[in-house]
């Protein structure tokens, strides 16, 4: 069975690698980076992603999202994407929009 991964756990692992911002209260830019990453990966709006982060016990994401985030996490690990490679990839996607 596939172990679930919460949005908070996903951000705690990938935001430092992609944006160079460590998690923690008061860390400038961490929340914004987390919302941007979740928006990109899930396709949900930043407002929806914000609810997951700000109210994790009250406004939980769909149950399937926890498994989806685990799959994305495992795929990125499997491909051994470096922070620069992933950042460049995200930048190139932004240019398409």
For the stretch 60-86, pLDDT in tens is 899 999 999 999 999 888 776 656 666
- Assess contact for 20 and 39: CB atoms under 8 A: no
> 28 phi and psi, to 5 degrees?
-65, 125
The residue to which tokens 């996490």 are assigned: 73
Model pTM score: 0.78
Among 21-35, 43-57, 59-73, 79-93, the range scoring the smallest mean pLDDT is 79-93
| Domain limits, the chain | 7-96
**Among candidates 36, 6, 42, which has minimal Cα distance to 21?**
36
Average pLDDT taken over every residue of the chain = 86
Determine the Cα–Cα distance for residues 73 and 1; give it in Å rounded to an integer.
Answer: 16
Q: Which two tokens stand for residue 70?
A: 């685990």
Q: What does the pLDDT look like over 3-23, one tens digit per residue?
A: 999 999 999 999 998 888 988
> 29 phi and psi, to 5 degrees?
85, -10
């Amino acid at each position: 069975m596939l172990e679930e991964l919460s949005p908070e756990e996903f951000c705690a692992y990938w935001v430092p690698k992609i944006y160079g911002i460590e998690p923690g209260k008061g860390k400038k830019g961490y929340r914004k980076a987390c919302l941007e990453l979740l928006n990109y990966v899930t396709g949900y709006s930043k407002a929806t992603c914000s609810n997951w982060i700000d109210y994790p016990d009250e406004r939980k994401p769909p149950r399937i999202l926890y498994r989806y985030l685990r799959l994305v996490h495992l795929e990125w690990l499997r491909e051994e994407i470096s922070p620069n490679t992933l950042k460049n990839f995200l930048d190139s996607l932004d240019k398409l929009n």
